[in-house]
Amino acid sequence: MRSAGPPILVFVVLIAVWQAACRLLEIPRFLLPAPTDVVEAWIENRESLLGALVSTFLSALIGFGAAIVVGMSIALAMSQSKLLERSIFPYAVLLQTIPIVAIAPLIVIWFGAGMPAVVVIAFLISLFPIITNTTAGLVSTDHNLVAMFELYNASWWQRMVKLKFPAALPYIMTGLRISSGLAVIGAIVGEFIAGIGGLRGGIGYVITSAAAQIKMPYLFAAALTSSILGIAIFILVSFVSTRFLRHWHESAIRREL
Amino acid sequence: MAVARPGGTPAVKPSPLGESLISIDRVGKTYANGTIALEDISFDVRDGEFVSLVGPSGCGKSTLLRMVAGLGPITSGTMLVEGLSPKAARQEKADTAFVFQDANLMPWRTVMGNVELPLELRGMEKIARRAQAAEALSMVGLGDVQKSYPRELSGGMRMRVSLARALAAHPRLLLMDEPFGALDEITRQRLNGELLRLCALANWTCVFVTHNVFEAVYLSTRILVMSARPGRIIAEVAVPLPHPRVPEIRTDPEFTRIVREVVSLLGSATDAHEED
């Protein structure tokens, strides 16, 4: 917990400065709400915000889950043959570069507005890092270990499960860390462009409607809530990553120097 | 001792009539890009022998060893291991163990997890294979680190785990590719002694690649000297020193004479290459 001290201190100082600046310089609330205004708005609207949080979290989670399943399957296929890799990779890149905003109407028509479309958008945005990182991991197995498995007449399946997959875990975890954040962003952006209003609208809807009504403190409160969601998911994935890697991978080992 | 072969006696060194485990006849290796790695290699290895391959760096000795293990294709000549092609021998008889230059352990598995791997791949069930692996670990003196991870061990300990893994499957033939090269001299000499002790107990046949001449003379019954690339066998040196070896033998005059002979052969091998 010693490591949490400095950032917390910085946070407290920033909040204090922000609060003081707003009050002393008499900045209008619609330009920059003071921290107290934000907290007030948060408490006042906590039910809708929490409901929105749950909705966005669910969409992000389902989209992320689908990206893991589909992404890792594609990566597995790509790792098996150079030909497959070369054939599929350009399409994966295409996926990455398509402006979601442009194809949003198409997604809405195909999958239906609201949660279905939001999940698809979260899926599309978080898919690419999982594919690339998992593929990189699966093709980077130490060739001496591969030789050893061949020496003991291991089957394809044994090699995949006992060697390639565990060896690829550090790469996979990196991909998951990146993608989890993207899934959250994807869900919120999805809610902007393909969401429906009301209770099931999620944080994206809250932000859009607060902006439209120029309820700045509420807007800030919503943005804060979405950050908390992003941070929570990141911490969760990091925790899982450390759990898997802590015995052996440099990135997860705490060393005394 | 469970690992001794039935009917085999420990500390028996080869009789000239021992069965030929490896037969290599005019074997060559040419890579796809035309580089000739090995040329016209012929020798036999008999049951119970300890043969060292010594040669300058890049002479192809590691490549040759891998071919014996069935890990690399032979481009000319014939090679038989236990009467079969190396690959068939590996798949059907599974009597060969290979120890790599570095310990080659899976960092995500514990020591036990690493040692039991060959048995696991073979389909042995958990209790039996754990017992066999534990036995191998205690033979190398690492019975108490079963639950440790490779990163927690020193280089020498990791190499011993690698040895235990090779041992666990009760091989007949042990192929070793400069296994002690990365270790300090003291650990290296100690592991040399351990290796000989285990060889005597389990009656293994060993083919050992090294470029440390002292190590080769200490361990072997016979040394094959290779030339620089393209690798050829230029000489065979018998090592008639008594078994079991004692560490003092390293200062014995006969030992020194053999070392000097091998060194001068190696020297001529490198010189010949430089003249080309």
Q: Per-residue pLDDT tens for A22-80? A: 888 887 877 888 888 888 888 888 888 888 899 999 999 999 999 999 999 999 999 98
Which chain B residue shows the shortest CA-CA distance from A158?
B121
Q: Do B69 and A151 make contact, defined as CB atoms within 8 angstroms?
A: yes
Q: Does A213 contact B at CB distance below 8 Å? A: no
Q: Do B90 and A151 touch (CB under 8 A)?
A: yes
B107 and A154 within 8 Å at the Cβ level: the answer is no
Q: Rounded to an integer, what distance in angstroms lies between the CA atom of residue A45 and that of residue A27?
A: 23
Residues 6+ apart with CB under 8 A from A237: A173, A176, A177, A180
For the segment A166-216, what is each residue's pLDDT rounded down to a tens digit?
A: 999 999 999 999 999 999 999 998 888 877 776 677 888 888 888 888 888
Q: Does B149 touch chain A (CB under 8 A)?
A: yes
Contact across the interface for A162 and B69, Cβ inside 8 Å: no
Per the prediction, chain B carries an average pLDDT of 85
Residue of A nearest to B121 (CA): A154
Domain limit, last residue, from B129, B154, B170: B170
Same domain, residue pair B44 and B74: yes
Same domain, B186 and B71: yes
Q: Does B238 score more than 50 pLDDT?
A: yes
Whether A158 and B121 lie within 8 Å, measured CB to CB: yes
Residue A151 near chain B (CB below 8 Å)? yes
Mean pLDDT of A90-100: 84
Chain centre distance of CA A17:
31
Q: Which chain A residue's Cα is nearest to B69?
A: A151
What predicted TM-score, i.e. pTM, was given to this entire model? 0.81
Provide the CATH number for the domain formed by A34-252 in this structure.
1.10.3720.10
| Secondary structure of residue B46 in the 3-state scheme | strand
* B129 inside domain: yes
Which stretches of B111-222 are DSSP H helices?
111-115, 117-122, 126-139, 155-168, 185-202, 213-219
- Dihedral of alpha carbons B178, B179, B185, B190, sign: negative
What's the CA angle centered on A141, arms B209 and B91, to 5 degrees? 55
Chain A's closest residue to B102, CA to CA, is A144
Boundary residue ending a domain (B120, B140, B170): B170
**For chain A, how many residues are written?**
257
| C-beta atoms of A163 and B107 within 8 A | no
Query: B161 and B179: one domain?
Result: no
Domain boundary among B152, B170, B188: B170
Q: Which residue has the higher pLDDT, B182 or A179?
A: A179
Cis peptide before B247 (omega within 30 of 0): no
Q: Are residues B221 and B236 in the same domain?
A: yes
Give chain B's domain count.
2
Question: Is the domain of B38 the same as that of B160?
Answer: no
For residue B168, CA distances in Å to A25, B199, B202 come to: 77, 13, 11
What is the predicted pLDDT for the residue at A160? 94
Token couple for A82? 């150079």
Is the minimum CB–CB distance between A167 and chain B shorter than 8 Å?
yes
Q: Does B100 fall in a domain?
A: no
DSSP state of B231: B
Q: Are A62 and A119 in contact (CB under 8 A)?
A: yes
Any chain A CB within 8 A of the CB of B67? no
**Is residue B115, in this structure, part of any structural domain at all?**
yes
Segments forming the whole domain that contains residue B157: 106-170
Of A153, A158, A248, the CB nearest to B108: A248
Q: What is the pLDDT of residue B87?
A: 86
Is B58 in the same domain as B156?
Answer: no
Is residue A79 within 8 A of residue A85, CB to CB? The reply is yes
Residue B201 lies in a domain: yes
Asked if the structure places residue B30 within a domain, the reply is yes
Whole-number Å distance between alpha carbons of B158 and B156: 5
Residue of B66, B115, B151 to mutate for A, most A C-beta atoms under 10 A: B151
CB atoms closer than 10 angstroms to residue B162: 25
Minimum distance, in Å, between the CA of residue B138 and any CA atom of chain A: 22
Distance CA A47, CA A34 (A): 22
Least CB-CB distance to A144: which of B94, B104, B121? B104
B94 to chain A, any CB pair closer than 8 A? The answer is: yes
